[in-house]
Amino acid sequence: MTSNSLCSTFHEKYLTVHIQERHNARFSVTVAVNPSTTVRQVKQRVQKKCLTKDGNLCDLVMLQQDGSKDFFYVNVLQDDELIYDILNRPSNNCSFYLNISKGLKIRVYMEEIVAGMTYKTVVVSPFSTSQEVIKILLRDQPNYADDFYLVKKTTDNEGDK
């Protein structure tokens, strides 16, 4: 029962959506939800609130309940899934990514203190965990173990401007 305490304390009316904007600014917006709210509706509400300065929609990274510490749980969501149903699943620790599609290629950003930011594209399954992603990264780049900080959907040539 206590293992699902994060979900059981889910705020009845508001959900915090964490955003990673293309130019690496990180911020959050809060949207109102109710038991009939779907993933698609949350995406639409967030997109209305988070147009970037240059007029592009920010990249949606993650939707999580306030208080959750698990920033890297990967889950594939359907647009018609109900938010309350997802948050009440004990297995997902109340946090998941928006916009990780079935293309299953994600871009992992790593910040190296001396060299700055770099990234590597990793192929994952719909239920890959952050630990599995880190293991793939460490095969090639063991020095980045402590610098892993964000998993994000790969977009076609965006973010390289």
Q: Kindly write down the DSSP assignment for every residue of 36-69, as one continuous string.
A: T-BHHHHHHHHHHH-B-TTSPBPEEEEEE-TT--
Q: CB neighbours of 47 closer than 8 A, spacing ≥ 6?
A: 57, 60
Q: CB neighbours of 134 closer than 8 A, spacing ≥ 6?
A: 145, 148
Cross-sheet strand order for the sheet of 116-123: 116-123, 105-112, 148-153
Paired tokens of 39: 């993933």
Amino acid 85: pLDDT: 73
In the chain, % of residues over pLDDT 70? 13
The pTM score is 0.39
Distance between CA atoms of 158 and 60, rounded to whole angstroms?
Answer: 13
Amino acid 64: pLDDT: 40
Q: Where are the domains of the chain?
A: 2-97, 105-153
Distance between CA atoms of 34 and 11, rounded to whole angstroms?
Answer: 10
Helix extents (H) in the chain: 5-8, 39-49, 83-87, 130-140
Architecture of the domain whose range is 2-97: Roll (3.10)
Residue-wise pLDDT tens digits, 29-67? 667 777 788 877 877 776 666 555 544 444 443 344 334
DSSP letter at 90? Answer: G
Residue 157 CB-density burial (10 A; 0-12 exposed, 13-18 middle, 19+ buried): exposed
Name the residue among 102, 142, 143, 138 with its Cα closest to residue 123: 102
Residue-wise pLDDT tens digits, 76-99? 456 787 777 766 655 443 333 343
Band the pLDDT of 17: cuts 50, 70, 90.
low
